[in-house]
Amino acid sequence: MNRKVVGSILIVILLAIGGWLFINSPFYNGSSQYNGSSQNGISILEVGAQEAGDRPVKTFDLTAQETKWELGDGKKVNAWTYNGTVPGEALRVTEGDFVRVHLKNELGVPVTIHWHGVILPNRMDGVPGLTQDAVEPGESFTYEFIANDPGTYWYHSHQHSAEQVDRGLYGSLVIEEKEPEYDRDEFFILDEWATRSRDQGAFNMGGMMRGHMSGDGEMDTKQLYDTFTVNGKAGDAIETLVMEEGETARLRFVNAGYQQHQLVFPEGSMKVIANDAEEINGEQGSSQVLEIAPGERIDVAYTKQGKESEVIAENPGVEHSEDMRIPVVSENSADSKINWTVSSGSDIADGTTYGSEELLFEETPDPDVTYDMDVSMGMNMGEGMSFQINGETFPNTSPIKVEEGDIVKVNITNSGMMNHPMHLHGHRFQVASKNGKEYDYPIVKDLIHVRPGEEYVVYFEANNIGEWLFHCHDNNHAELGMITVVDYQGVYSPFEIGGENQPE
Ligand code: C2O
Ligand code: CU
């Protein structure tokens, strides 16, 4: 590395430290900005109440606790978990159920639970400082919502997510259809761990600079994470999937990490069936490689091709890919040797490849509100490295101000050099176009992966009153500013961002 490069990395680090000191100083009032909505109208605690009525009630207890967790290969981490495992307890309910979850916090830091992708009342959304106060050590909180929309979801802490999700505070949530289409149904959560660094959750400034220079959209985290996991386990420790030749299963994938992952399937074995809990339009074909962005969820129908073992595995071109391989074996050959050969395939499906079965808008609608969202990385004097929306960092980003019933158009443009998986709470949007070209098959989602230079136009209906985050699901980027709020007129949040409430 030449001197100039070292010099500029040093400057960046100094700026970042300066920014950190400033943010933690008494001169910075984190609670002032977004809540330009002031305390007008009614509190979000008074809107959208849901009652169980005569619905079946499904009750769960989730305890946030510290756990020594074995990833495999003798690698142990001090994980933070819901109920002692990574992922936390797997939650399965049926559409129409009334879900009640008692969260108890036995960690030494405040936590919450956010129900990623679930359309629910605002005050059940689990965002500290916006929809509730963070749940303090020793305290409890009860979440309640109706499981209306079948599909794949996950839950995770939304308190200081860059650290808490990274340490393992996440789990799966499936809302099953009343009559499931597949007999076999499996859930896989992908993640990365930094076992070499004592500081899981630390941010890699040097890697970020190198990435910025080399044009890789994820170099900020790639340097740091040395172990990939599927359902909290790496390599040989990953549970084998036992299936017979010709058997089909619904496999639900969620990416809880910081990096996009490409899973390669045996040729002809996989069809994408849902993106972010929205079924895809049935007439579309199969692919061989599944690309999942951070925070995203994609379901596939997978059919075991032969009698012999086969493998669903991370693209072998990626460092640490050997950690992320799911072996599929037949019952009677379960102890014969697994064939680890990963097929080669270039036919990639990501979260936008296939359109959705049910659209929010049949035609491109006329928006009542248009918001231009330019996402980028920046460096401000005194604030250090930041991830910005329209040149500002949260909570100074301008909110998306809406009235109930508005059609909202958001033009998301990535003018920076990092990937930004942008996620909207409490709503789904329709992805109408990419780089100025309209989709023949629009996609209904709640997360859109925006790569450097890309521009997406999304539409949603403001039909769930409250105060909702719209943010980058690379939680490090969120922490460094890439968050805004969909701010409904007529309601306000009685909570305050800052102090114990760290919503990013
Ligand atoms: Cu997965 Cu703001 O959340
Ligand atoms: Cu980002």
CATH number (domain holding residue 331):
2.60.40.420
| pLDDT computed for residue 31 by the predictor | 37
| pLDDT computed for residue 105 by the predictor | 98
Q: Which of 328, 349, 370 is the last residue of a domain?
A: 349
- Taking the CA of residue 425 as reference, the ligand 1 atom at the shortest distance is 2
Is there a domain that residue 38 lies in?
no
> Where would I find the H helices in 340-380?
none
Is there a domain that residue 186 lies in?
no
pLDDT tens per residue across span 143-169? 999 999 999 999 999 999 999 999 999
- Given a cut of 90, whether residue 21 has pLDDT beyond it is no
Label residue 15 by pLDDT band (50, 70, 90). Answer: very low
| pLDDT computed for residue 17 by the predictor | 45
Those residues with Cβ within 8 angstroms of residue 230's Cβ, 6 or more apart along the chain or in another chain: 188, 189, 190, 238, 324, 326
Is there a domain that residue 286 lies in?
yes
Going by C-alpha positions, the residue among 309, 311, 288 that lies closest to residue 300 is 288
Same domain for 171 and 97, yes or no, is: yes
Is there a domain that residue 433 lies in?
yes
CB 343 within 8 A of CB 380: no
Q: Which of 176, 204, 224 is the last residue of a domain?
A: 176
Q: How far is 387 from 391, CA to CA, in rounded Å?
A: 8
Distance 217 CA to ligand 2 centre (A): 9
Q: How far is 23 from 15, CA to CA, in rounded Å?
A: 12
Same domain for 56 and 135, yes or no, is: yes
Give the number of whichever ligand sits closest to the CA of residue 472: 2
- Given a cut of 60, whether residue 26 has pLDDT beyond it is no
Distance 464 CA to ligand 2 centre (A): 25
Same domain for 337 and 410, yes or no, is: no
* Residue carrying structure tokens 């799911």: 326
- Given a cut of 50, whether residue 473 has pLDDT beyond it is yes
Going by C-alpha positions, the residue among 225, 194, 172 that lies closest to residue 79 is 194
Q: How far is 390 from 375, CA to CA, in rounded Å?
A: 6
| pLDDT computed for residue 30 by the predictor | 36
Same domain for 53 and 117, yes or no, is: yes
- Taking the CA of residue 127 as reference, the ligand 1 atom at the shortest distance is 2
**Checking DSSP bridges between strand 491-492 and strand 42-43, what pairing results, if any?**
parallel
Same domain for 164 and 56, yes or no, is: yes
Is there a domain that residue 182 lies in?
no
pLDDT tens per residue across span 405-429? 999 999 999 999 999 999 999 999 9
Give the number of whichever ligand sits closest to the CA of residue 414: 2
Residue 185's Cβ-count burial label (10 Å; 0-12, 13-18, 19+) is middle
Is there a domain that residue 185 lies in?
no
Same domain for 196 and 329, yes or no, is: yes
- Given a cut of 80, whether residue 4 has pLDDT beyond it is no
E-assigned strand segments in 15-169: 42-43, 57-72, 75-82, 91-94, 98-105, 114-116, 140-146, 151-156
Which residues lie near ion ligand 2 (Cβ < 5 Å)? 420, 472, 474, 477
| pLDDT computed for residue 163 by the predictor | 95
- Given a cut of 80, whether residue 107 has pLDDT beyond it is yes
Q: Ligand 1 — pocket residues by CB below 6 A?
A: 114, 116, 156, 158, 295, 423, 425, 469, 471, 473
Same domain for 272 and 215, yes or no, is: yes
Integer angstrom CA distances of residue 246 from 54, 200, 231, 270, 380: 41, 41, 25, 12, 57
Going by C-alpha positions, the residue among 59, 160, 170, 155 that lies closest to residue 108 is 160
Give the number of whichever ligand sits closest to the CA of residue 475: 2
Integer angstrom CA distances of residue 194 from 141, 163, 285, 479, 499: 30, 12, 37, 18, 27
Two tokens, residue 368: 């009542």
- Given a cut of 50, whether residue 23 has pLDDT beyond it is no
- Taking the CA of residue 471 as reference, the ligand 1 atom at the shortest distance is 2
Lowest mean pLDDT among 2-11, 357-366, 407-416, 488-497: 2-11
Same domain for 199 and 340, yes or no, is: yes
Distance 408 CA to ligand 1 centre (A): 20
Ligand 1 atom 3: the closest Cα is on which residue? Answer: 116
User: Which DSSP helix (H) or strand (E) runs through 235?
Assistant: none
CB atoms < 10 A from the CB of 201, how many? Answer: 19
Distance 306 CA to ligand 1 centre (A): 38
| pLDDT computed for residue 380 by the predictor | 67
Lowest mean pLDDT among 287-291, 344-348, 482-486: 344-348
| pLDDT computed for residue 34 by the predictor | 62
| Average pLDDT score over residue span 379-395 | 85
Please, what is the average pLDDT of the chain? 89
* Phi and psi at residue 236, to the nearest 5°: -60, -20
* Phi and psi at residue 342, to the nearest 5°: -90, 130
Same domain for 59 and 18, yes or no, is: no
State how many domains the chain has. 3
Is there a domain that residue 184 lies in?
no
Distance 391 CA to ligand 2 centre (A): 14
Distance 220 CA to ligand 2 centre (A): 10
Distance 283 CA to ligand 2 centre (A): 33
- Given a cut of 50, whether residue 24 has pLDDT beyond it is no
Is there a domain that residue 388 lies in?
yes
Burial track 51-84 (b if 16+ CB lie within 10 A, e otherwise): eeeeeeeeebebbbbebebbbbeebebebbbbbe
Burial track 382-414 (b if 16+ CB lie within 10 A, e otherwise): ebbbbbbbeebbbbbbbbbbbeeebbbbbebbb
Q: Which of 296, 323, 349 is the last residue of a domain?
A: 349
Going by C-alpha positions, the residue among 176, 187, 181 that lies closest to residue 95 is 176
| pLDDT computed for residue 101 by the predictor | 98
Calculated CA dihedral for residues 98, 503, 463, 255, nearest 10 degrees: -70
Q: How far is 183 from 249, CA to CA, in rounded Å?
A: 7
Same domain for 336 and 196, yes or no, is: yes
Ligand 1 atom 1: the closest Cα is on which residue? Answer: 116
Domain that holds residue 80: 48-176
| Average pLDDT score over residue span 316-340 | 87
- Taking the CA of residue 165 as reference, the ligand 1 atom at the shortest distance is 1
Look up the pTM and report it: 0.90
- Taking the CA of residue 154 as reference, the ligand 1 atom at the shortest distance is 1
Give the number of whichever ligand sits closest to the CA of residue 450: 2
- Given a cut of 90, whether residue 210 has pLDDT beyond it is no
Same domain for 29 and 158, yes or no, is: no
| Average pLDDT score over residue span 200-220 | 56
Distance 127 CA to ligand 1 centre (A): 9
pLDDT tens per residue across span 227-271? 999 999 999 999 999 999 999 999 999 999 999 999 999 999 999
Alpha-carbon radius of gyration of the chain: 22
* Residue carrying structure tokens 């109408």: 432
> Where would I find the H helices in 353-482?
475-479
Label residue 81 by pLDDT band (50, 70, 90). Answer: very high
Distance 476 CA to ligand 2 centre (A): 7
Give the number of whichever ligand sits closest to the CA of residue 503: 1
| Average pLDDT score over residue span 439-454 | 97
Same domain for 195 and 337, yes or no, is: yes
